[in-house]
Amino acid sequence: MTDVPPRFVRQFALTNGRARSTGENLPLDTIVTLTDRGQAVARMLVGEQARIATLCRQPVSIAEISAHINVHLGIARVLVSDMVVDEIVGVSTSDFDDHGPDLVTLERLLDDLQAL
């Protein structure tokens, strides 16, 4: 895994009238799923949004989105944030602090791994 050569960020415009998300720093493991509204409007989406909508019919992370639609994480975060504002997708994050997951979560994870 070595760093890749410089690549172009595709240009896209954000409309003035629409409330623009501030690109909240969604973690790369943020889970993204299509909302009911998203399912209803999916066929009207185009470009990256259409591809993201297809991907998140099942829960996927922002990292997976970036990999599948071939944009870097910064772009993926902005795209997803905008779709959250439009209520096309919902997101879920874990907000563990610097101590990491709590004991209950860890115990449950242990059980789940042992059951694999």
Partner 1 sequence: MGTAPSAVQTAPAAGIKPLKIVIAGGFAAGKTTLVDSISEITPLTTEAPMTNYSVGVDDLGEVTSKTTTTVAMDFGRLTLSPTTMLYLFGTPGQDRFWFMWDELSKGAVGAVVLVDTRRLADCFGPLDYFDRRGLPYVVALNQFGGALAHTPDEVREALAISPDVPVVAIDARDRASTKDILIRLVRHAIERRTVQ
Does position 19 interact with partner 1 (CB under 8 A)? The reply is: no
Does position 106 interact with partner 1 (CB under 8 A)? The reply is: yes
Please select the residue that binds partner 1; options are 48, 55, 61, 88, rule is CB under 8 A: 61
Q: 34 in helix, strand or coil?
A: strand
Count of alpha carbons within 13 angstroms of residue 100, beta-carbon side: 5
Q: Provide, rounded to whole angstroms, the least separation between the CB of residue 83 and partner 1.
A: 12
Does position 98 interact with partner 1 (CB under 8 A)? The reply is: yes
Q: Provide, rounded to whole angstroms, the least separation between the CB of residue 79 and partner 1.
A: 10
Is 59 in contact with 29 (CB distance < 8 Å)?
Answer: no
Q: Which amino acid, 63?
A: A
Does position 86 interact with partner 1 (CB under 8 A)? The reply is: no
Does position 46 interact with partner 1 (CB under 8 A)? The reply is: no
Order of strands across the sheet that contains 31-34: 60-61, 31-34, 89-92
Is 65 in contact with 74 (CB distance < 8 Å)?
Answer: no
Closer CB to partner 1, 16 or 43, in the complex: 16
Residue 7: φ, ψ to 5°: -135, 160
Q: Which residues bind partner 1 (CB under 8 A)?
A: 1-14, 16, 20, 23, 25, 27-33, 58-59, 61, 63-64, 66-68, 72-75, 77-78, 89-103, 105-110, 112-114, 116
